[in-house]
Amino acid sequence: MRRIVLVGSGASAVHFALTALQKGHEVLMLDVGHERPESVLPGATLAQLRDRLADPVAYFLGDSFESVLFPTQGTEYYGFPPSKSYIFTGTPPQFRWRVEGFAPLASFARGGLAEAWTAGVYPFNDAELADFPFTYADIAPYYDLVAERIGISGEVDDLARFMPVHQHLLPPLDLDEHSSLILRTYAERRASLNRRLGCYIGRSRIATISRDREGRQACSYLGRCLWGCPSDSLYTPSITLAECRRHDRFRYVSGVYVRYFRTNAHRRITAVVVDTGPGKASEDVPVDTLALGAGTLSSCKIFLESVFRETGQLVTLHGRWTTSRS
């Protein structure tokens, strides 16, 4: 049995943890882990929220109207409802960045960035994996396993030619009137659309369950996906985190920020250095096996900062990406 220290609680981290636990290992998860607020009126539909909440404007737009997206010249419309703001706020002061040419999103929420996803879930096909050292067939069993764990509803239809079909697809969700009309019309003109326009239409594959399973309710079409599904029908990593926490060999510690790891003379990782709060001294957490699952940016930062502290080396990718001492 290994004692694994795992950093982060996003999608990769929680599934790594669950697999490690199922293989008999012990897992200590270190996370900043801002918590999701309680759902309001869990059984209410989106329309009922407008009627029943004492202040629906504050719920939908925020106390300071921070979720209203105002028109601005030349910038992207991209916003989140107040109920999801915990996912993007509370960035620790130690985590700073300067970017050029892309707009990074990072989260220190319990469950990570995927707490804000909208559940569209599609395997990479061989064309998309062309530059990777493996094919779809090599990783297909893992897609099957993840589909079984998280619950994906969908159908094998004309889109299968673009998106590989994995096992454990749940029956598809009901369609709204517009989508039904589009699919019916497509079915009537399918041959012509395929042949003349190369147009193929099918259902989305969604990590939202269409049947009750393992304490989660089947989607009841409340229409609150964007605001946070109150019945956990729409999968988020915090569901798997809750499953991990039911294991005796799992320990979750939130409120800590992992800065870097230490190595010994044999270049074995011996500890991670964590900050536990403002004004408190950093602490060492001993490590036998370390796994970084803190998202692309945070995991890279931990790794690169550790390399820098050990060797003084500034690692760069194509001469551009780097981390500097924080």
Partner 1 sequence: MVDTTNPSDVAEECRVFCRYLSDRPPPTEVLSAYRRAHQCVVVAADAAWPPIDAALLRIARLGPSLTRAADASAVTFAKSSLLRRKLVLLLAILESCGSTIGAVDTVVPGPRVKWAAGIVLNVVVFAAALGLAAAAVVPLRIWYRFAPGRRA
Q: Contact between 71 and partner 1 (CB under 8 A)?
A: yes
Check: CB of residue 235 under 8 Å from CB of residue 205. Answer: no
221 lies in the binding site for partner 1 (CB under 8 A):
no
User: Of these, 1, 24, 70, 246, which contacts partner 1 (CB under 8 A)?
Assistant: 70
Which of 48, 231 has the CB closer to partner 1?
A: 48
Residue 182 interacting with partner 1 (CB under 8 A) = no
Q: Identify the residue among 3, 42, 68, 268 touching partner 1 (CB under 8 A).
A: 68
Q: What are the tokens at 6?
A: 């795992």
Smallest distance from partner 1 to CB 179, Å: 14
120 binds partner 1 (CB under 8 A): no
Closer by beta carbon to partner 1, 71 or else 101:
71
Shortest distance (Å) from residue 66 CB to partner 1: 8
Q: Does 51 bind partner 1 (CB under 8 A)?
A: yes
Nearer to partner 1, 65 or 221 (CB): 65
Contact 157, 169 (CB under 8 A): no
Q: What track of x and - describes contact with partner 1 for positions 150 through 179 (by CB under 8 A)?
A: ------------------------------
**Least separation in angstroms between CB 55 and partner 1:** 8
Output the six-digit token pair for 197.
């326009």
Residues 6+ apart with CB under 8 A from 253: 28, 29, 30, 31
Q: How many alpha carbons fall within 13 Å on the CB side of residue 184?
A: 7
Which amino acid type is present at position 281?
A
Nearer to partner 1, 68 or 314 (CB): 68
Distance CA 213, CA 282 (A): 42
Question: Closest approach of Cβ 2 to partner 1, in Å?
Answer: 51
59 binds partner 1 (CB under 8 A): yes
CA distance 34 to 325: 25
CB-based contact 78:65 (threshold 8 Å):
no
| Nearer CB in complex with partner 1: 70/102 | 70
306 burial class (0-12, 13-18, 19+ CB within 10 angstroms)?
A: buried
47 counts as binding partner 1 under rule CB under 8 A: yes
The number of helices, as runs of H, and strands, as runs of E, in the chain is: 8, 9
- Of the two residues 57 and 156, which places its CB atom closer to partner 1 in the complex? 57
Q: Give 257's contacts (C-beta < 8 A, 6+ positions apart).
A: 32, 92, 94, 95, 274, 275, 276
Query: Which two tokens mark 92?
Result: 């620790």
Q: Residue 57 or 105: which CB sits closer to partner 1? A: 57
Q: Is 184 in the site for partner 1 (CB under 8 A)?
A: no
Judge contact between 290 and 272, C-beta under 8 A: yes
From 64-72, 86-94, 165-173, 280-288, span contacting partner 1 (CB under 8 A): 64-72
CA-based torsion, 13, 16, 22, 23: positive or negative: negative
Query: For residues 27-46, which are near partner 1 according to CB under 8 A?
Result: none
Q: Give contact residues for partner 1 (rule: CB under 8 A).
A: 47, 50-51, 56-57, 59-61, 64-65, 68-73
